[in-house]
Homo-oligomer: A and B are copies of this chain.
């Protein structure tokens, strides 16, 4: 059963992580299956009183994925009263998922800080289930199982934010190989957006961001019209991450 010491935790505060995984033009999300129930949850946790919120989110993810340098982004804090379902902690006790002593902790009114991450999921060796879960898996975002509480709303908001951020943030570092072609970068955008993009508009726009370096080398093994290979200009990439893309004002 879940081992948890409420005495060292910040009351009323939880965190939930939406981990998007990209690999081979597929977008998935990391979910935990609650023990003995046909119910799934986002990985998350609580915030120890003596620890920073952000580092606790990183820690929660590292435990699940083994990845320790994930780019995690806070996207929204969920604080409606309706998100707490009084039947939920009782169900956890009934299914012997938590000790009865933890009922009070789990029946608090929680405000949950949502984080999202986007990782190359082939780098995650084997996702690790947590104390209240029996499986941790990459699930297709187009075919999600039933999620507990308001977790599907949290996931949806994270996905909306990710798509919106493509207008203002660079993307691709750590998701693509160090050198990549413009069509490969376009595929990444298309996978996230879930739609096809016009080839010429994409090229024009991505170039206007001024975050790519052309290596003047071409993808080998392709005989005719081999596409040029690009790299991210990491300094400009990180600057754009902080200040927004230069297509701005």
Give the interface of A toward B (CB within 8 A): 10-13, 47, 49-54, 74, 76-82, 109, 111, 113, 163-164, 166-168, 189, 193, 197, 202, 205, 243-245, 247-249
Known: A12-B11, A111-B10. A167 touches B247 (CB 8 A): yes
Q: Are B50 and A81 in contact (CB under 8 A)?
A: yes
Q: Which residue in chain B gives the minimum CB-CB distance to A244?
A: B164
Cβ-defined partner of A197 (8 Å) among B79, B202, B249: B249
Task: Tell me, in angstroms, the Cα distance from A49 to B50 when the chains sit together.
Answer: 23
Chain B residues within 8 Å of A167, by CB: 167-168, 244-245, 247-249
Instruction: Looking at the assembled complex, report how far the CB atom of A110 sits from the nearest CB atom of chain B, in whole angstroms.
Output: 9
Q: Which residue in chain B gives the minimum CB-CB distance to A198?
A: B249
Cβ-defined partner of A79 (8 Å) among B52, B168, B202, B244: B52
Instruction: Looking at the assembled complex, report how far the CB atom of A241 sits from the nearest CB atom of chain B, in whole angstroms.
Output: 11
Known: A189-B249, A248-B166. A77 touches B53 (CB 8 A): yes
How many protomers of this protein does the assembly include?
A: 2
Task: Tell me, in angstroms, the Cα distance from A244 to B247 when the chains sit together.
Answer: 14
Q: Is the interface of A mostly helix, strand, loop or mixed?
A: mixed
Q: Are A111 and B13 in contact (CB under 8 A)?
A: yes
Instruction: Looking at the assembled complex, report how far the CB atom of A167 sits from the nearest CB atom of chain B, in whole angstroms.
Output: 4
Given A50-B109, A54-B80, 7 additional A-B pairs, CB 8 A: A10-B111, A47-B111, A77-B77, A166-B248, A167-B245, A197-B249, A247-B247
Cβ-defined partner of A13 (8 Å) among B12, B74, B193, B205: B12
Q: Are B74 and A52 in contact (CB under 8 A)?
A: no
Chain B residues within 8 Å of A244, by CB: 163-164, 167
Q: Which residue in chain B gives the minimum CB-CB distance to A10?
A: B12
Chain B residues within 8 Å of A81, by CB: 50-52
Instruction: Looking at the assembled complex, report how far the CB atom of A153 sits from the nearest CB atom of chain B, in whole angstroms.
Output: 14
Q: Are A47 and B248 in contact (CB under 8 A)?
A: no
Task: Tell me, in angstroms, the Cα distance from A247 to B249 when the chains sit together.
Answer: 13
Task: Tell me, in angstroms, the Cα distance from A133 to B247 when the chains sit together.
Answer: 42
Which of A47, A77, A245 gathers the greatest number of chain B CB atoms within 10 Å?
Answer: A77
Chain B residues within 8 Å of A166, by CB: 248-249
Task: Tell me, in angstroms, the Cα distance from A224 to B78 when the chains sit together.
Answer: 53
Cβ-defined partner of A80 (8 Å) among B11, B53, B168: B53
